[in-house]
Amino acid sequence: MQIRSASPRDDSPHPTGPKGIGLALGGGFARGFAHLGVLQVLEQNRIPISCIAGTSVGSILGAAYASGAPLARILAACRNIRFRDFASWRISRLGLANNHRLRDLIDRVFETCDFEKMKIPVAIVATDLGTGDPVIFTHGNLVDAIRASCAFPGLFEPVQIGTRYLADGGLVAQVPTHAARVLGAKRVLAVSVGMQDGYREPPSHIFQVVARAVNAAQKHQMDAWEKHADLVLRPAVKSLAWDDFERASEAIEAGIAVATRALTRIQKLIAAPEAPNCLPGASAQAELEFAEMPQ
């Protein structure tokens, strides 16, 4: 598909610019609230952001921030969010629920629903169930793009856009580093929160079966997305289940912790004359150095 991205606006309330970093925010349901902690550290330290690419929950939070919504508003909304706020149970042949209510959440939190009006350029990744290929949205109305990126298979019904049936972007881009490069990012900071629930017991319901199966497949795709990252952050959120929305503050704190520890490296990343990912093994070294250790 043709990729077209918006340009940063001069009136952006968030620090942006061509020398900034491109953010790639991965999926992980409630664990994804850690992305907000990373964004808080970046904003407090005036780290410029050139673009944001998001998958699943990363698409919601990344696009909300890129729309110009104050981080305080996004944080407040997430600390009070529950499953019923973005989804409703509706058993069908294609899923157990739908995520139509995401539209209301987006209308309430975002400053705009149009890619072209974003304060920071955004890319949202979904999966085409017909071809198995990634679909990168960069223009038009972003509501259905986000719904598609968040349509986890087996739980949510796929989202139809045109002739395509689309599902969770994490199936093909657990962390959308390549999409950040498509937007023109010279330096990419990836945030991976994962889908694994951290427990070794046998799965107790169908969603755990599907989630663990997807996670098993994703473990073998890491090289595909890590090679496009200059720095990989892994907040310590393994103890959070997919639906631990009431533990949002814990996830946010985990994001703050890992970004704070990586701050010096992030600042050096921006100051570097050229993207360090041209050096073999750069992203792997960064991941080992700044990953949060399990508690």
Provide the annotated active-site residues.
56, 168
Residue 151 tokens, joined: 């349509």
Q: Look up residue 8 and give its amino acid.
A: P
Cβ neighbours of residue 20 closer than 8 Å, sequence gap 6 or more: 47, 48, 49, 50, 187, 270
Tokens standing for residue 81: 């969010």
CA 142 – CA 144 distance, rounded (Å): 6
Backbone angles phi, psi at 182, to 5 degrees: -60, -35
Which residues 6+ apart lie within 8 Å of 154 measured at CB? 95, 96, 206, 207, 210
